[in-house]
Amino acid sequence: MAYRRTDAVVARLNETRERIVAAALKLVAQHGYDGAGIPAIAEEAGLSTGALYRYFPSKADLFDEVFRRASQREIDVCAAAAQTPGSARERLARVVQVFARRALKGRRLAYALLAEPVDPLIEADRLRYRIPYRDIFVGIIEDGIEAGDIAAQDAVLTASAIVGALNEALIGPLAPQARKTDQEQLIAGLALFCVQALGPMPARKS
Amino acid sequence: MAYRRTDAVVARLNETRERIVAAALKLVAQHGYDGAGIPAIAEEAGLSTGALYRYFPSKADLFDEVFRRASQREIDVCAAAAQTPGSARERLARVVQVFARRALKGRRLAYALLAEPVDPLIEADRLRYRIPYRDIFVGIIEDGIEAGDIAAQDAVLTASAIVGALNEALIGPLAPQARKTDQEQLIAGLALFCVQALGPMPARKS
DNA sequence: AGAAGGAGTGAAATGTGTTTCACTTCTTAT
DNA sequence: ATAAGAAGTGAAACACATTTCACTCCTTCT
């Protein structure tokens, strides 16, 4: 034995791995999936295509991680917004606003994450990473039901519908060729839509 | 000149074209996009792959038509449901019920049309063919606003959100591996969600 | 310095569908 | 019957990412 993974080597390896993920994310955010082939990512990360395959066994695995990272950031922010004090309706509105505002700020990336036509392998990721959002809404809705602020209902159904509503309503405005609309009005409209969809405040049991 | 397109030939040509579209639709409905490659479609239609290219210049063109046909059928039914008499809220509920019930009946095809991960070229069709649905809802909402049954709002935004909500809420139950849920309850829940999302009946101007 | 083994290179192989095309078969009009 | 033109055949060509691999370059330890 003459070569061993010293801390320095491990550190450099980790750093390279990060560079790859960052490079992929950057290319997607800038040019969409067309600009994010393996050779382009490798070049952006400053290494050869072959070397990239020492870090990720396949493109699908790489994008799985890219998707997870990019989504996780957003999910964390939304989860935090869901944690703020207030009624379930207030919290729901806040999460919707945060989600929409951030999407509209990082348009190109949001479009890539939400809607851009993409390889089926990667598309599957998209479906997967909607679940955490749904679960955030499920939590809020169940809290609301328990508190008597929201009528009893299938929380998973309602939450799924809200996720879909957000995505679809944002796709148009996020599309690269969209002319810009009044973002604050859009955000407010979406929040109102979602809160109203929960139904009216149920009559309190006497 | 020795060969001319007689009526008989034209008829046969049209029929063959139909057979191709029908074959593609059948394969997609049965096995999803994996089972719908060009050679498979050609065989199902009873001709060679080469001949197929006399009818459609590319796979994308073929699927464009397949998508249009399949979608159009559903859109027509929904548009008819939107035309029925009643308040805007009643009509909206009816369209949602019709849409959801039909999707759940033709699960495999609905999944293919709404959600199955698919080639980007075809994915673009999916985005396009959501617009007619949106427009049906826009019509209903505008009627409701005009009649004073629904508060003034951005009808396009609300309609987009409803389309997204329907799609997303159905994706789970439509997924091939989903265990079946109570369909009528799902349909009723979705209709309620959408109607409530319109907001409460506005107070009449005195 | 030298040996051992991992990391990096990048041109070439691979895999997978779509698409083509030289040829055959069929239809029509004289 | 025959000629002309169109439709049909299907094996082969193509396109184009992804993925591999024989080789070189580094890093580490003795």
CATH architecture of structural domain A63-206: Orthogonal Bundle (1.10)
Over residues A34-62, mean pLDDT: 97
pLDDT of res. A79: 98
Q: Does domain A1-57 have CATH number 3.40.50.10680?
A: no
pLDDT single digits (tens) B109-130: 999 999 999 999 889 999 999 9
Q: Would you list which residues of chain B are within 8 Å, Cβ to Cβ, of chain A?
A: 33, 115, 117-121, 123-124, 127, 130, 153-154, 157-158, 160-169, 171-172, 185-186, 189-190, 192-194, 196-200
B179 pLDDT band, cuts 50/70/90, is: confident
Cβ of B14 near strand D (under 7 Å)? The reply is no
pLDDT single digits (tens) B31-80: 999 999 999 999 999 999 999 999 999 999 999 999 999 999 999 999 99
Domain boundaries, chain B: 1-57, 63-206
* Alpha helices (runs of H) in A84-130, residue ranges in sequence order: 88-105, 107-114, 120-128
Concatenating the DSSP letter of every residue in chain B gives: ------HHHHHHHHHHHHHHHHHHHHHHHHH-GGG--HHHHHHHHTS-HHHHHHH-SSHHHHHHHHHHHHHHHHHHHHHHHHHSSS-HHHHHHHHHHHHHHHHHHTHHHHHHHHT----HHHHHHHHHTTHHHHHHHHHHHHHHHHHTSS----HHHHHHHHHHHHHHHHHHHHSTTPPP--HHHHHHHHHHHHHHHT-SPPPPP-
Residues of A in contact with B120 (CB under 8 A): 33, 117-119
Cβ of B2 near strand D (under 7 Å)? The reply is yes
A2 pLDDT band, cuts 50/70/90, is: confident
Over residues A110-120, mean pLDDT: 93
Mean pLDDT of chain A: 95
Residues of A in contact with B161 (CB under 8 A): 165-166, 168-169, 190, 193
B206 pLDDT band, cuts 50/70/90, is: low
pLDDT single digits (tens) B6-24: 999 999 999 999 999 999 9
Cβ of B50 near strand D (under 7 Å)? The reply is yes
pLDDT single digits (tens) A125-159: 999 999 999 999 999 999 999 999 999 999 999 99
pTM confidence score: 0.94
